[in-house]
Every structure is written in structure tokens, then in C-alpha cells.
């Protein structure tokens, strides 16, 4: 367990390099920097992915119950389903470099009244 914590800390320190690396091209990055971002994303996904799947499952069940309790009102169910089932399921190295957007929740479901 100590080795795992140490590896995560080292990967985090390597990934938190100069601010200029945040917008650099991944093709031109050094091998060490690419390895650090990849390692950091793997260790983050070990924790994040199971939590996201549980959150999505609970949201799916809750939205289904809301749909049943409102006698088939899909708008109510989608207001639960959209945030919980949408969003990012896998953290990529590009997210650490600032090239991709990280969205733990999906878009909120808002009904447009403009017709």
C-alpha cells in the first residue's frame, strides 16, 4: 500500500511540471512527461471509474423510480438521468494537460419553453 501511495505521489509531482506544459503538443512532449500523465490517469481511474459507475447506477434507478412515481413523466426522469448518466467516465492524460474537458456530471435537463 505504501508503494502505491508513493507511486501516485511521484506521478503527481512529475505531472505538475511547468505551466507551459499545460498547452503543449503531446507529440512534442518528453517521454517522461507522457509516462507521468498516463500513469496519473491510470491511478485516478482506479478510484474514479468505480465511483462514477455507482453514481450512474444510482441515478438510473432513481430516475426510473421518479418516472414510475410520476406516472410516466419523462421530464422528471430525465432531470435525474441526464446529470447522473452523462459526463466523463474515463480520465485521460489530455484532461490533465488541459486539452480535454472533464465533466463529472452530464448536462442538466432543462425544458425549453420557447416554441
CA 61 to chain CA centroid, nearest Å: 20
Indicate if the pLDDT at residue 112 is higher than 50. Answer: no
Rounded Cα–Cα distance for residues 23 and 18 (Å): 10
pLDDT value for 106:
80
List, for residues 58-83, the tens digit of each pLDDT value: 999 999 999 999 988 899 999 899 98
The answer to whether the predicted template modeling score (pTM) of the entire model surpasses 0.75 is no
21, pLDDT greater than 50: no
CB 107 within 8 A of CB 83: yes
| 3-state DSSP assignment of residue 38 | helix
**What is the rounded CA–CA span in Å between residue 79 and residue 70?**
13
Average the pLDDT over 78-94 and give the result: 90
Cell of 63: 430516475
Rg of the chain's alpha carbons, rounded to an integer? 19
Amino acid at each position: 500500500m505504501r508503494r502505491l501511495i508513493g507511486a501516485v505521489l511521484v506521478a503527481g509531482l512529475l505531472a505538475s511540471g511547468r505551466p507551459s506544459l499545460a498547452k503543449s503538443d503531446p507529440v512534442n512532449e518528453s517521454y517522461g512527461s507522457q509516462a507521468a500523465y498516463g500513469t496519473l490517469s491510470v491511478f485516478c481511474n482506479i478510484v474514479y471509474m468505480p465511483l462514477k459507475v455507482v453514481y450512474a447506477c444510482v441515478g438510473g434507478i432513481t430516475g426510473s423510480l421518479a418516472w414510475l412515481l410520476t406516472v410516466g413523466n419523462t421530464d422528471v426522469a430525465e432531470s435525474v438521468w441526464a446529470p447522473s448518466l452523462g459526463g466523463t467516465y474515463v480520465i485521460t492524460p489530455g484532461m490533465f494537460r488541459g486539452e480535454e474537458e472533464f465533466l463529472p456530471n452530464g448536462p442538466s435537463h432543462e425544458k425549453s419553453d420557447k416554441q
